[in-house]
Amino acid sequence: MSSQDQETRQGGTIILTGANGSVGLAAAEHLLKSYPQYHFVFTVRDAADTDPNTRKLRDLISNYPHAKSKASVHQVDLADLSAVHEFALAISSSVATGRYPRIRSIICNAAYRDLIHDSELTVDGYDKTIQVSFVAHVALVLRLLDSLAEGGRVVLFSSNPRLRSITVVAINPGGIGDSRVFTTRTPRFVQLMQTFVLVPLMPLIRLADPTFRTSAEAAIDVIELAVGDAHSGERGYFTMLLKDDSDPVTMEKEIQDIVWRMSLEWAKVMKDDTGLQGGMEPF
Ligand SMILES: NC(=O)c1ccc[n+]([C@@H]2O[C@H](COP(=O)([O-])OP(=O)(O)OC[C@H]3O[C@@H](n4cnc5c(N)ncnc54)[C@H](OP(=O)(O)O)[C@@H]3O)[C@@H](O)[C@H]2O)c1
């Protein structure tokens, strides 16, 4: 392990998007409890105290007095790419001036889905689910590459790219029975299913599907992969903490090239915006 790697493990910055979500809150708690040496940049869509989930995040932080000067909550609406670029610029400037230590991990946890309404377009003109869950994270990660430490890690919830000394991992966190994904923008029967089937019968369902579990269990794996020793230095795709194969379609070179090229275009990332100069040549 290099000295810079060791230094970062003793106190880098962790960025967690969707920090007030089901996995996000549990992940924030595990970080605050088990990794007090880090600085935490928690991002949420709505940082106002009137947002009940943000309120929970702030209450959680206040339970850890050591985090008072080390944990901050930032409003970043991932459905607005200008907000994402602005945030990334503010963080990279803070790292450059030494206000934040170099980034140990970017955890791309936020996601959006709506099972009731038709597809919704963002101000950038993209489908909201694709932009929040994917395109905005592409912009965020590429913008912050130069602020990542040696041995830093990017945790995605899909796909499988590779970057210099930084490792990129994708995790399938499992089926998360108690997630509010089942109660937000879902039909009534899905909400009832969570209350009367998924949560109370979780131990039984787990017999048939061992990946079915709580957000707290999923969050611990996400954080151990992001900042702990789990699979340190490895790349690739994981189901929970087990090395796995991602969908074969994601391994097709032609498809990877198309997705990469389109991602750069959608994320509005130019050559000068990222440290990944080698990947920016036209195809
Ligand atoms: N739940 C599952 O069974 C499951 C299965 C496989 C993978 N996953 C993945 O696991 C991760 C965590 O899922 P979860 O169950 O914790 O989901 P969740 O409870 O629905 O949390 C999603 C988070 O994303 C945030 N978000 C949504 N739109 C946003 C926007 N425009 N800008 C910024 N943030 C936004 C939400 O904030 P607001 O609510 O304030 O908008 C919330 O904090 C996701 O990446 C998901 O795809 C989940």
Per-residue pLDDT reduced to its tens digit, 254-283: 999 999 999 999 999 998 999 886 767 654
**What distance in angstroms lies between residue 156's CA and the mean position of ligand 1's atoms?**
12
Q: What is the 3-state secondary structure (H, E, C) of 101-133?
A: CCEEEEECCCCCCCCCCCCCECCCCCEHHHHHH
The reply to whether 200 falls in a domain is no
The reply to whether 209 falls in a domain is no
The reply to whether 246 falls in a domain is yes
Q: How many domains does the chain have?
A: 1
Q: Is the CB of 18 under 6 A from ligand 1?
A: yes
Phi and psi at residue 266, in whole multiples of 5°? -65, -40
> Distances in Å between the alpha carbon of 281 and those of 34, 250, 260, 275?
41, 21, 11, 13
Question: Looking at 60-69, 82-91, 161-170, 184-193, which range is the least confident one?
Answer: 161-170
**Residue 181 Cα: closest atom of ligand 1:** 20
Residue 283, pLDDT score:
46
**Residue 111 Cα: closest atom of ligand 1:** 24
| DSSP letter for each residue of 180-198 | GGGTSS--HHHHHHIIIII
Q: What's the pLDDT band for 158 if we cut at 50, 70, 90? A: low
**What distance in angstroms lies between residue 158's CA and the mean position of ligand 1's atoms?**
13
Q: Is the CB of 181 under 6 A from ligand 1?
A: yes
Q: Is the CB of 157 under 6 A from ligand 1?
A: yes
Per-residue pLDDT reduced to its tens digit, 104-138: 999 999 999 999 999 999 999 999 999 999 999 99
Residue 276, pLDDT score:
82
Per-residue pLDDT reduced to its tens digit, 20-74: 999 999 999 999 999 999 999 999 999 999 999 999 999 999 999 999 899 999 9
Q: Is the CB of 194 under 6 A from ligand 1?
A: no
Percent of the residues in the chain that have a pLDDT greater than 90, as a whole number: 84
* Residue 139 confidence (pLDDT) above 90: yes
Q: Whose CA is nearest to atom 40 of ligand 1?
A: 45
Q: Is the CB of 177 under 6 A from ligand 1?
A: no
Residue 112, pLDDT score:
96
The reply to whether 189 falls in a domain is no
Residue 278, pLDDT score:
73
92-109: average pLDDT: 97
The reply to whether 181 falls in a domain is no
* Residue 171 confidence (pLDDT) above 60: yes
Q: Is the CB of 214 under 6 A from ligand 1?
A: no
Q: Whose CA is nearest to atom 42 of ligand 1?
A: 21
Per-residue pLDDT reduced to its tens digit, 206-240: 999 999 999 999 999 999 999 998 899 999 999 99
The reply to whether 160 falls in a domain is yes
**Of 16, 41, 80, 112, which is best to mutate to test ligand 1, by the most ligand atoms within 8 angstroms of its C-beta?**
112
* C-alpha to C-alpha distance for 61 and 71, rounded to whole angstroms: 7
The reply to whether 201 falls in a domain is no
| Burial state string for 139-162 with b = 16 or more CB within 10 A and e = fewer than 16 | bbbbbbbebbbbbbbbbbbbbbbe
**Domain with 228 in it: what CATH number?**
3.40.50.720
**What distance in angstroms lies between residue 251's CA and the mean position of ligand 1's atoms?**
25
The reply to whether 220 falls in a domain is yes
* Residue 7 confidence (pLDDT) above 70: no
Q: Which two tokens stand for residue 280?
A: 């920016």
Percent of the residues in the chain that have a pLDDT greater than 70, as a whole number: 92
> Which residue range(s) make up the domain with 244?
3-173+215-273
Q: Is the CB of 21 under 6 A from ligand 1?
A: yes
